[in-house]
Chain A
Amino acid sequence: MLVTEQERLRDDLVKMTDRFGRDRSALMPILQELMRTRYHISEYSMQVIADLLDIHPVEVSSVVSFYSFLEDKQRGQFVIRLCRTIACDMSGEGNVARQLVNDLGIEFGGTTPDGKFTLGWANCLGMCDQGPAMLVNEKIYTQVTPEKVHSILEECRSTFGVHATVDKERC
């Protein structure tokens, strides 16, 4: 039987509601889970979620638009967010930024063509004493140097194999 991507997405979301509940308060965990597994929240999924939680799609989109860590546009599998606040800036964030741009071949705000990395900024991550600080998905790296950038990216690329088994189809 042919299962369309939309049907598969709907099934996944139903499973998520089994796990997180059908209460309005299940919205955030579901959105976060969706970001983890599909790297973005499509308009279709917003409507399905609204339907399942008995709220309005526009409320879901309001929440998604509020949080920078929730996105309605497709982003890379790894989102790198480099802290640009003053302490990190003073401890050499500029060099790290340049290294990232060089290594990934994209500007800040961009995503690599293979859909692996998205590069962006963050504001203070609370690691000011150990700057420059950088967030890769949910993992924090401190005292990052241009040299370390390479190994961090390699680490990501190697976890890719593991992640590859996770459903990474987009819709």
Chain B
Amino acid sequence: MSDELLPHGHPTRAPASQRGRTAEVLEHAKALGKQIEVTIDGRAITVPLGTTILESAQQLGIRIPTLCYHQDLCLAGVCRICVVEVEGQRALQASCSYPITAPIHVKTHTPAVRKARRHILDLMLANHYGECYTCNRNGNCELQSLAEEYGVDYFRFGRMEKPRYEIDLSSHALVRDMNKCVLCRRCVRTCIDLQEVGVLEAIDRGNRIKIATFGDKPLSDVVCINCGQCINRCPTGALRANDNTDEVWQAIDDPTKHVVIQTAPSPRAGIGECFGLPPGQPMTFRMNTALRYCGFDKVFDTNFAADLTIIEEGTELLLRLKAAMANDECRMMNDESALQHPERSQSQSIHNSSFINHNFPVPLPQFTSCSPGWVKFAEHFYPEYLDHVSTCKSPQQMFGALLKTFYAEKTGVNPRDIVTVALMPCSAKKFECNRPEMCASGYKDIDYGLTTRELAKMIREVGVDLPNMPKSDFDDPFGTATGSGVIFGVTGGVMESAIRTVFELVTGKKVENLFDHAEVVPVRGFEGIRYAELPIVEVGPVPAIISHLFKDWNWLKGATLKVAVAHGTANAKRVMEDIKAGGKFSECHFIEFMACPGGCLGGGGQPIPTSPEIRAARAKAIYDEDRSYTIRKSHENPALLQVYADFLTDGPCGHRSHKLLHTHYTPRGKYIA
């Protein structure tokens, strides 16, 4: 099959890494412009050459069952559940991977097709340790629904009576139970092709085949970045997040414990899906009521900490820029040869304006650090660049540190009795809160991380129908945050918030002058990698909050801030390789990286299923929420300014903030012993 005939967006499995290495949709045969007429179940449709039977049927509203097929992934064609009859062909064809190149007649539900599908299911079930009522995916399992759909009422080929594999519980984030695996290889394609981390592959062959890690090691010992993207795409309960709800219930039921929960922006945009709502219905304030109903003592907004992150990370960036600039000046003074070599001094001034100095390296560009999946990715694959990663903790961890210090002081609750729970769209956050260094408060800063899916189960367990809950606000002293915090949930959001704040701190002008409604459109969207330049034409006075660090902004006048955004680690890898090679991204000043496609809203803890449309709907919900806030910039958050006035008295990047809000990283490398 020639490349041109491949259906769009589905590079074949094998050579993905040999192609342009983009995570983007590839050129499609549609570009050839040829149309072709096919008949499916007696209905005609004209489609571009190379469209698959499955895609054509979907356009006609004809449902063909699938299992190994996933919209986000390249084709595998391994499960055969999608078989159809193509007139004139003896064997049934897998419709997901059959590109139409001739005017064919297709029948999707003939007796032969139905029988074949049923057989395939029966065979899968024979190798499946099915125990639906104790299974994490009960009620949301593609295998289960197929069995129902095809009327499986007994085990024709027997069944697995005993589990065959040990459950891998080694990871804080993921649990692998290969007894439930149907070998569809979606996780393999997710990890290798979509994320390019490369943790899972099919090992061995024939009836001994299984999905395993390198050397069949426990997940905690390999390069898994805990992004959970494989969980979101697994059709069964074989992959799941490491569930902490039991511990959380226990804490809630313990009267001596003060249990507080912080909720991140993405779960609010997604949790409605677990209650039967279409994607993109924000549940923020209804969820607050439901959480109190569950028994949480206080409900806080992670966005408060997101605003804090912006102040800290923005200040860090300005400090780095200033240091790079100071180095430049110092070099200019010492470097007599600059006078003798005018061409060099010229190149020097170019470097000046881009703040990059190669002789006295201040690590630039600065990378964001709020995605724990990305952080672990960097620790494994780019350990030599860890000093570029902002030292700021993620909002979750900043909040945890504040809860067990500032909040404990303020309320008089012994920090030992505070249990901090974080509702996150993310499985990597479970790993992050268990990192040994995350105990700046003297206690474990965040005790438990819950995913959106886990919280939905808790809410259901107390008999609450979330969509019909009354609304209620977040608790003080952290209040309701700003729109900037909210958009952390979508790719480009951290960058947009940072731009809003840094721009205003430096120029003293409203960011609205530059971007309508403070919406920094160039960094929005779902394109894998985005790049923007922001000229700083004039500068204003240094605001009080950081006046202890900067005298004036004159050194920034006339400079152009270069920023980039990448989401999904495959795109992050592209950017990092470019930086390594000294390409355009090495001249950036600030780069946002998110491990998950779409940013946090596509996180590994979000409701299943996921698709580009679902992620777009969630993004819309988040941007709408941003627009609904009156305060939309982190540095204007009143609760935040209060915390700096009362507690973090030595200001952003000050001593106290360094102790509580900043962290360090562990170079891990990719070689496994």
Contact surface of A with B, Cβ cutoff 8 Å: 23-24, 43-44, 46-47, 50-51, 54-59, 61-62, 65-66
Contact = CB atoms under 8 A, between A and B. Distances in A.
Max chain B C-beta neighbours (<10 A), residue from A43, A58, A65? A58
17 contacts: A24-B18, A44-B671, A47-B214, A50-B198, A51-B670, A55-B198, A57-B198, A57-B214, A57-B672, A58-B199, A58-B201, A58-B212, A58-B214, A59-B198, A61-B201, A62-B201, A65-B205
B480 to A, nearest CB: 44
A59 B212 CA distance: 11
Contacts of B15: 24
Nearest to A55: B17
A58 B213 contact: yes
A61 B192 CA distance: 14
Nearest to A59: B201
Contacts of A50: 198
A65 B203 CA distance: 6
Interface string B1-39: 000000000000011011000000000000000000000
A68 B204 CA distance: 9
A32 B434 CA distance: 43
A58 B17 contact: no
B671 A59 contact: no
Contact of B215 (A54, A55, A56, A61): A61
Interface string B157-198: 000000000000000000000000000000000001000111
A62 B215 CA distance: 9
Nearest to A67: B205
How large, as a class, is the contact surface on chain B?
A: 20 to 34
A58 B224 CA distance: 12
A50 B197 CA distance: 12
B319 interface: no
B202 interface: yes
Given A24-B15, A24-B18, A47-B672, A56 B198 contact: yes
A62 B198 contact: no
B192 A56 contact: yes
B591 interface: no
B601 interface: no
B203 A43 contact: no
A42 to B, nearest CB: 10
A46 B213 CA distance: 13
A44 B212 CA distance: 18
Max chain B C-beta neighbours (<10 A), residue from A23, A46, A59, A62? A62
Contacts of A47: 214, 670-672
Given A24-B17, A56-B192, A66-B205, 16 more contacts: A24-B14, A43-B215, A46-B214, A47-B671, A47-B672, A56-B196, A56-B197, A56-B198, A57-B198, A57-B672, A58-B213, A58-B214, A61-B214, A62-B202, A65-B204, A66-B204
B494 interface: no
B269 interface: no
A66 B199 CA distance: 17
A46 B202 CA distance: 16
B200 interface: yes
Nearest to B215: A43
Contacts of B214: 43, 46-47, 57-58, 61
B198 A58 contact: yes
Contacts of B14: 24
Given A55-B17, A56-B198, A61 B672 contact: no
